[in-house]
Amino acid sequence: MLPIEAVFSELVDHLNTHETVLLQAPPGAGKSTWLPLNLMKSGQYQRIVMLEPRRLAARNIAQYLASQLNESLGQQVGLRIRQEVKVSEQTRLEIVTEGMLTRMIQQDPELTGIDLLIFDEFHERSLAADTALAFALETQAALRDDLKILVMSATLDSERYQTFLQCPLICSEGRSFPIEQKYIPVKDESQWLMQIVPVIRQALKEENGSILVFLPGQKEIRYVANALQGVLDSEPKVHIATLFGEQDKSAQQAAIAPSPDGERKIVLTTNVAETSLTIEGIRVVVDSGKRRAAVFNLKTGVTELKTVSISRASAVQRAGRAGRIEPGVVYRLGSQALFERRDAHDKPDILSSDISGLILESKVWGTQISDLPLLDMPTGAQRKQAEQLLINLEAIDSQGKLMNLGKRMQQMGSEPRFAHMLLKAQALEAQLTGITLLACYFMALQDSRVKCAPELSLALNQLHHNAPQTFTKQLKYWCKRADISHKTNELALEHLAIVVALAYPDRLAKRRGNGFVLANGAGVNAHSEFWQDSDYLAIAELGGQQGQTIFSATEFHPALLEAVLPYLFEQKTVCEFDQKQTQFLHQDRVYLGQWVLSAKPSSSPLNEAARTQAWVSIIKEKGLSVFSAYGDVEQLLIRMQLAAQHCPDTFPTSTESDLIADLSQWLAPFLSEVKQYNQLKKLDLKNALLTRLDWQKQQQLNTLLPERIKVPSGSQIRVEYQLEGPARLAVKMQEVYGMLQSPTLCEGKVSVLMELLSPAQRPLQLTQDLAHFWQSSYKDVQKEMKGRYPKHFWPDDPATATATNKVKSRM
């Protein structure tokens, strides 16, 4: 009996009485196999759709469930993944993956005929799963109150998820045997890969059964497979299998299948085997503790694949593979102390990915992502970058409105970049013969990830004459989508830069010094072998440290793109003050993204508005310290900020960033007559700042936070304000005799620290409690000061004495 069976009745009851249910069940409980099959058999649901985040898991689960019914895939159990759809009118349980469910909801927001949505392995938090769940929750709330949603996972942040979904939580025990944990400390973390093979040898020697080795990616899998060959020569009954997402199906099935009797296998895998897969015969896990994570670089617009440490939750998932059939062992690379310092959960994709696809989906859905029910909300920087990319791809306009091309791109069901490239290539086919097929070649190269020359024209030409099967499969798929033949005598490589620009307009690069600057403003390094004399590159792939290494590109000339893709270019009249030449540059410029393609003296006159904008640009770059009077107005700025802090309903915020953002309002009128840099530096900054406050507010500021305070002697003493802590009043001690309390400002919200000075203006005492000082340590000060300054008044009772700013002889 599977553990999930024990909670099945409870789960069904909750689904009957609640719209959404949360299920936590560890590996081996039967949540991905037994549960959906028996929910289908229960007869309560006309059609069930289950989302699996990984294609390999989706295909294997679907095939297994179909076999349990003695049926072929596509009958009662269906599968819908990219390039593989097996469903029919008989299908009642459909396994889908990646963005398939999102497309289904977009095409039919009511999800006609579907009664139950299941989100399996939700803890993986793929961007596609987060998007689909958000749309499903909106469908449920607005259109289908009878739609049931079941969210389930092996390792959930249960309390947080339950709060977000506002639903009951059901927990199922797993069917896992005890797992012994062995920690293998690493002396040099940078050499971790070299220490994996000795650990595998140790496991082979100490334990029986087959071994599952978790590695970050294919590169590490190849290294370990080669390093193990010598070991296997002496172990004829041990063989190696590899398992990763890009493999063909036969190799994947071979890795999953049980070994022949009396033989053992070592399966080298990525994190595709963490969940929803059962690999026969495994009772030992060797965990490198590493995974390949896609980290989006906002500066370059590049998704970098980095090798990072896994979370504790992922480590538990991996270890669970060893206890599925009998007691097992996990060998963890690294000390136990290092393991316990890992993050509890992996960072969700939505916080570390390019979210242009999510924004496009939300635009088509008819909402902003800020209004979607998302467990985590992307950052403002992510949203800004993604929206700019969608503008460059003609999916939305500068106001954020969805364009017709954007709707068609979303319907393509691929990344916005590639959808734009293929649709625009088709539109340009009549003008540029062969560009659609060239775009399909480029798509196939991106999807198949075959290793080729960095120069794209060489790479595609090689693939045209001698293509591996993985590339040909992708090429046929995209040619079918474009409704063209994949066969041709010659590729139209003269259009290659246009194809790249259609997908990567932000990666059009212009030489700058020893490197290049991208259209998005980021700098990248020059290639060590290719494009040494090129001035312009259309870059397809970037990576390496900080995403600044060019992996593949092709040379182009801007005139070619300007003639075919004019929307990429923007003409601006710009006025800038060149500080080196001490003169204005007033130019008509053509921009490609953020870099200047060409510039010439402007034909329009240099007017006051253009000159003012030039000064504003300099101030934004340098800050308010560009003004000579900045030091003189620092106290005014602090007073204005304190006023806004303590009286926000009366005074505007006045931080430097606020002032810089609002320059065109308060400072621009003072810049109209400024024609030289020296004039700018000498500008009356205090008067300009005060214009942010009307006359009444200026009077209130002087009342609440005065520049000077009158003390008992009659003197007006300057107050020194600070943003944190009390204001400071430095005053001669004789001038505050008879004063028992330190003053407070801003209606008691700002206290004052008294700095009592000697006749020579040297500090004697810091206090905020004058009464206590007069009664205590004043006696010691009096004794010392009488001898040093005998001409000055040092009374025995300063609390009642008359304050003075004169010597005794003149009192």
Q: What is the DSSP string of 312-333?
A: HHHHHHHHHGGGSSS-EEEEEE
What does the pLDDT read at residue 102? 93
* Count of Cβ atoms closer than 10 Å to residue 610 Cβ: 17
What is the Rg, in whole angstroms, of the alpha carbon atoms belonging to the chain?
A: 36
Residues 163 and 191 in one domain: no
Residue 666 near residue 686 (C-beta atoms within 8 A): no
Residues 672 and 741 in one domain: no
Residue 269 near residue 215 (C-beta atoms within 8 A): yes
Residues 291 and 209 in one domain: yes
Residues 142 and 185 in one domain: no
d(CA 550, CA 540): 8
Of the residues 304, 329, 350, the one at which a domain ends: 350
Residues 443 and 525 in one domain: yes
Is 404 part of a structural domain of the chain? no
Of the residues 538, 562, 586, the one at which a domain ends: 562
What does the pLDDT read at residue 730? 95
Residues 93 and 183 in one domain: no
> Which of 254-260's residues contact partners 24+ apart within 8 Å by CB, and which partners?
255/279, 256/60, 256/280, 259/210
* Count of Cβ atoms closer than 10 Å to residue 379 Cβ: 13
Find the farthest-apart pair of alpha carbons in the chain and give their distance in angstroms, rounded. Answer: 116
What does the pLDDT read at residue 628? 82
Residues 49 and 184 in one domain: no
Domain that holds residue 790: 707-810
d(CA 782, CA 787): 9
User: Residue 766's closest CA among 751, 750, 753?
Assistant: 753
Is 731 part of a structural domain of the chain? yes
- What are the CA-CA distances from residue 29 to residues 53, 171, 258 (Å)? 18, 10, 21
Residues 696 and 729 in one domain: no
Residues 194 and 342 in one domain: yes
Is 674 part of a structural domain of the chain? yes
What does the pLDDT read at residue 86? 93
Is 144 part of a structural domain of the chain? yes
Q: What is the CATH number of the domain that holds 41?
A: 3.40.50.300
User: Residue 354's closest CA among 422, 291, 417, 298?
Assistant: 298
Give the pairing type, strands 750-757 and 744-745: antiparallel
What does the pLDDT read at residue 487? 86
Q: How many CA atoms lie less than 13 Å away from 369 in the CB half-sphere?
A: 25
Is 487 part of a structural domain of the chain? yes
Beta bridge partners of 358: none
User: Residue 293's closest CA among 318, 320, 314, 275?
Assistant: 314
Residues 752 and 730 in one domain: yes
d(CA 177, CA 161): 28
Residues 692 and 740 in one domain: no
The enclosing H or E element of 488 equals none
Residue 762 near residue 737 (C-beta atoms within 8 A): no
What is the tally of structural domains in the chain?
Answer: 5
Q: Which residue ranges of the chain lie beneath pLDDT 70?
A: 155-157, 174-176, 274-277, 579, 581-583, 809, 811
The first and second tokens of residue 474, run together, are: 């992708």
Residues 10 and 40 in one domain: yes
The first and second tokens of residue 479, run together, are: 């040619």
Is 364 part of a structural domain of the chain? no
Tell me the backbone φ, ψ of residue 191, rounded to 5 degrees: -105, 25
Is 572 part of a structural domain of the chain? no
- What are the CA-CA distances from residue 451 to residues 85, 268, 345, 460, 470 (Å)? 29, 21, 33, 11, 11
What does the pLDDT read at residue 263? 84
Of the residues 350, 365, 393, the one at which a domain ends: 350
- What are the CA-CA distances from residue 775 to residues 732, 740, 769, 785 (Å)? 18, 10, 10, 17
pTM of the complete model:
0.76
What does the pLDDT read at residue 811? 63
d(CA 447, CA 475): 9
Tell me the backbone φ, ψ of residue 46, rounded to 5 degrees: -70, -40
Is 388 part of a structural domain of the chain? no
The first and second tokens of residue 49, run together, are: 């759709």
Between CA 194 and CA 201, with CA 196 as vertex, the angle to 5 degrees is 115
